[in-house]
Amino acid sequence: MKYIFNFPDIGEGLDEGRIAEWHVKKGQQVKSGDILVSMETDKVVAEIPSPKTGVISALYGKPGDIIKVGEALVEIEIAGVSGADAVAESHMEAVKEEGAGVVGTLEVAGSGAVMKASSEGMDLSKTETQKEIRKALATPVARALAKDMGVEINDVKGTGPAGRVMKEDILNFTQKKSVPKTGTLVEPVSEQKIETVPLTQIRKTIAKNMLQSKHQAAHMSVFDEVEISELERVRSKFKQDFTNEGLKLTYLSFVIKAVSLALKKHKALNSEMDDANNQLLYKKYYNIGIAVDTEKGLMVPVVRNADQKSIRVIASEIQDLSDRAREGKLSLDEMKDGTFTITSYGSIGGKFAVPVINYPQAAILGIGKVSKQPIVKNDVIKVEPHQFDGLSFPMTLVQIL
């Protein structure tokens, strides 16, 4: 019996993912629970386990391909299951997963729904009625390129397996169209002049969330300079001890602790905007999100209950969360339920910036770089370290603050 396992609905409103890495290959024996593939979603890289024990007979898609929830991932050959049992199991799977996302379908000989795998990805073979309607088979990269270049993909003749439209077919099609009927040659846009890099799921989500934040809240920002000579003294005193323990004692550890305590006095900044009911939801717990820049985009893991933790514990969690964010090993739970966010643009050399609120949170703190500045202390000019900060929050909070 052949079992077609579809990309499951893993929650959080995700509707698609990009294949990051296959952990199995055709002909490999797998057990139920073995990791089949790593899928990059708009929040994390999720490892998808096998629901069955059997032999991999086909892989649908290659690294970089976009797979929608409900589309096929792998085909598993399961020994010792009859056609009648397959039909019954298929019905049980459908009932079990109703309302919870598609996690697998069974292919039974004569059932009418046959799925086909190829080296370029996945496609569904058409019924006799559907064959009358010409719809191009194409790789996800080709479809994205056609959309970007304004090409009707159904007009392009494919040269790939089974007539599949490839990236090169789109480029060749546009080059042919660039020659006018008058015979005047127009230099085509060559692949060497344009580098096409598909957006990661994470970057697409960042863009969507930033746009939503700007539309839903009228941002207001306040900038200030903080003289941190005492903080620098304390950090210098304990920095080596932390280093001996394998920890980095950064300014961020102190800022997170200070912010979590300050939020208790300024509860409006630790709230969530409920636009549907025109109200604020005040949070009585203090989960601080920290923006981490990674190769795949910005991730915001959460240091939970920061007000109850020591500087040492916070420093350890920052290091662990940051490292795993850059390695793509964070879970969804580690990025959920933040009540306030801190971002550091000082790491790229900036003094001031306008951070975008991590909607629906009510505020975000941006931290600039630390530099020595002249300051008047007791009528004497001294040179002390300063930190430059920016706080963004909605205009609706002004009267509350």
Domain 2-125 in CATH 2.40.50.100? The answer is: yes
Q: How many Å apart are CA 205 and CA 211, to the nearest integer?
A: 10
pLDDT at res. 210: 65
Which CATH architecture best describes the domain 126-198?
Irregular (4.10)
| Sign (positive or negative) of CA dihedral 267, 272, 274, 278 | positive
- Domain positions in the chain are 2-125, 126-198, 214-397
Q: How confident is the model over 173-207, as pLDDT tens digits?
A: 877 665 454 444 445 555 567 777 666 666 666 66
Whole-number pLDDT of residue 42: 67
Cα separation, 21 vs 39, whole angstroms: 7
**Local structure of 254: helix, strand or coil:** helix
For 21-52, write each residue's pLDDT tens digit: 899 999 999 988 888 998 887 667 778 888 88
Which range is least confidently modeled, 95-99, 215-219, 249-253, 279-283?
A: 95-99
Q: Can you give the pTM of this predicted structure?
A: 0.51
Predicted confidence (pLDDT) per residue in 149-171, tens digit: 788 888 888 887 667 788 888 88
- 212 touches 205 (CB < 8 A): no
Within 8 A by CB and 6+ apart from 283, the residues are 270, 271, 272, 339
Residue 131 pLDDT > 50: no
Share of the chain above pLDDT 90, in %: 18
pLDDT in tens, 330-367: 887 888 889 999 988 777 777 777 778 887 888 888 88
Pick the CATH number of 214-397 from 3.30.559.10, 3.40.640.10, 3.40.190.10, 3.40.50.1370: 3.30.559.10
Could you tell me which residues come within 8 angstroms of residue 17 by beta carbon, excluding any fewer than 6 positions away?
7, 39, 40, 41, 46, 66, 67, 69, 201
For 242, the token pair is 């932390």
What burial class does residue 165 get, using C-beta atoms within 10 Å of its C-beta: 0-12 exposed, 13-18 middle, 19+ buried?
buried
Asked if domains 2-125 and 214-397 share a fold, the reply is: no
